[in-house]
């Protein structure tokens, strides 16, 4: 199951319908959640199916405006609420909360309710809409979701794609150390400096946040300021994801096996001095991309144990340096006298965790910036 998120190019009338359909989905979800809470307090056992049947019996009498919106927008929220409560009862997530206007505006469509032809899609009620790019993946379309980010609207198409391995450009065995100062340090000596988009745009974010806080709630000026802030957040996320996609694709495509760390990001961000930098580096997203792209390129991905001391262990003699701190950027082994970059030492140790990794490592003293050199060679192809 692969999802391809494509930007839409709708007209003003189509944008107005998107807003109405998203509002309808939000209204139905909140109605179902409120009814679920009421029935549960009354000692009943509500289910998503019972609530949907109850709502269908009264929806056009009590809410006649629903006839203007396609029925998928006010039928799929019940399944979403059911999944939310299943996760809650399993202890995976918290109790479902009411949806707010302007936050994650979206609505879903069944696979037989829309049709894609090249760079356009036909949606119910509003007809054909242009797409920024055609659908990348071949297979059976399972569902579609129209969502809004800042001022842009997207169609996420879930496809049951046939597995097809992509061609490789190398056969290396690499260890990849994730860090803050250098986002990725590779065991062959390369260092990938990330864009650090949040840090570079922090002053602009603070300025626009202050402007938003001074606007009167419910005014048009507040909506304008809110839109400007959301556009800046979207720009920052795009810069971060662009780097991660290029870096992970390049490494997976040129490798036979990769070893990364199992980082406890949730515990790491409890350090308030490093939390913003850790979130800007987005270690969790990097691991997610490594996992699914490794399957695409038939690359073995090995995740080292969370308690493996990759930074404290000497890559030459195996000595453990217990007094190593975050301020020590250069690793100095008192036993064998090795003097090496801290992150590079960790990358070499991660490489040794691979079963087929070569013990003879020849470091290459080089620094790679995906925004200065070699950008075309690492751009995603499909």
Query: Which residues are catalytic, by number?
Result: 177, 261, 343
- CA 167-366-355 angle, to 5 degrees, is 55
Q: What is the CA radius of gyration of the chain?
A: 25
Q: Where are the beta strands (DSSP E) in the chain?
A: 2-9, 106-110, 115-117, 120-123, 127-131, 139-149, 152-161, 172-178, 184-186, 191-192, 255-261, 300-304, 330-332, 339-341
Residues 6 or more apart whose CB falls under 8 angstroms from that of 7 comprise 131, 132, 133, 152, 153, 154
Q: How many CA atoms lie within 13 A of 226 on its CB side?
A: 13
How is the beta sheet containing 300-304 ordered, strand by strand? 191-192, 184-186, 172-178, 255-261, 300-304
CA–CA separation, 230 and 209 (whole Å): 10
How far CA 77 is from CA of 40, 73, 90, 109, in Å, comes to 19, 7, 20, 11
Q: Helix, strand, or coil here: 369?
A: coil
Residue 192's CB: how many other CB atoms inside 10 A? 21
Q: Helix, strand, or coil here: 115?
A: strand
Residue identified by tokens 């969790």 is 284
CA–CA separation, 26 and 102 (whole Å): 10
Burial of residue 259 (number of CB atoms within 10 Å: 0-12, 13-18, 19+): buried
Burial of residue 38 (number of CB atoms within 10 Å: 0-12, 13-18, 19+): exposed
Phi, psi of 180, rounded to the nearest 5 degrees? -95, -55
CA–CA separation, 150 and 88 (whole Å): 29
Of 152, 232, 242, give the one whose Cα is nearest residue 200.
Answer: 232
What share of residues in the chain are helix, strand, coil (percent, to 5)? 40, 20, 40
């Amino acid at each position: 199951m692969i999802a391809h998120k494509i930007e839409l190019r709708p007209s003003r009338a189509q944008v107005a319908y998107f807003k109405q359909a998203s509002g309808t989905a939000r209204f139905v979800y909140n109605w179902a959640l409120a009814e679920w809470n009421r029935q549960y307090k009354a000692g009943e056992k509500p289910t998503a199916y019972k609530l949907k049947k109850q709502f269908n019996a009264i929806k056009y009498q009590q809410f006649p405006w629903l006839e203007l919106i396609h029925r998928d927008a006010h039928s799929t929220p019940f399944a979403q609420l059911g999944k939310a409560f299943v996760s809650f009862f399993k202890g995976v997530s918290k109790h479902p909360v009411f949806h707010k206007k302007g936050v994650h505006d979206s609505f879903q469509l069944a696979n037989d309710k829309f049709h894609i032809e090249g760079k356009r899609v036909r949606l119910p009620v509003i007809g054909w809409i242009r797409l920024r790019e055609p659908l990348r993946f071949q297979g059976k379309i399972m569902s579609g979701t129209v969502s809004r980010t800042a001022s842009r609207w997207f169609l996420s198409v879930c496809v049951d794609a046939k597995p097809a391995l992509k061609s490789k450009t190398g056969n290396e065995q690499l260890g990849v150390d994730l860090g803050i100062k250098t986002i990725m340090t590779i065991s062959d000596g390369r260092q990938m400096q990330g864009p650090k988009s949040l840090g570079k745009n922090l002053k602009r974010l603070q300025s626009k946040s202050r402007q938003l806080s001074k606007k009167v709630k419910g005014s048009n000026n507040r909506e304008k300021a809110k839109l400007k802030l959301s556009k800046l957040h979207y720009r920052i996320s795009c810069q971060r994801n662009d780097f991660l996609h290029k870096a992970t694709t390049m490494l997976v495509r040129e490798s036979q096996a990769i070893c990364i760390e199992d980082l406890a990001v949730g515990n790491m961000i409890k350090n308030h001095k490093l939390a913003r930098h850790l979130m800007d580096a987005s270690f969790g997203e990097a691991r997610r991309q490594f996992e699914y792209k490794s399957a695409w390129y038939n690359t073995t991905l090995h995740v080292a144990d969370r308690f493996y001391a990759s930074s404290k262990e000497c890559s030459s003699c195996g000595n453990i340096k217990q007094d190593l701190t975050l301020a020590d950027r250069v690793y100095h082994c008192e036993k064998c006298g090795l003097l090496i970059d801290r992150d590079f030492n960790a990358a070499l140790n991660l490489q040794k965790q691979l079963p087929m990794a070569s013990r003879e490592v020849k470091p290459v003293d080089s620094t790679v910036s995906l925004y200065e050199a070699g950008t075309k060679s690492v751009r995603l192809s499909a």
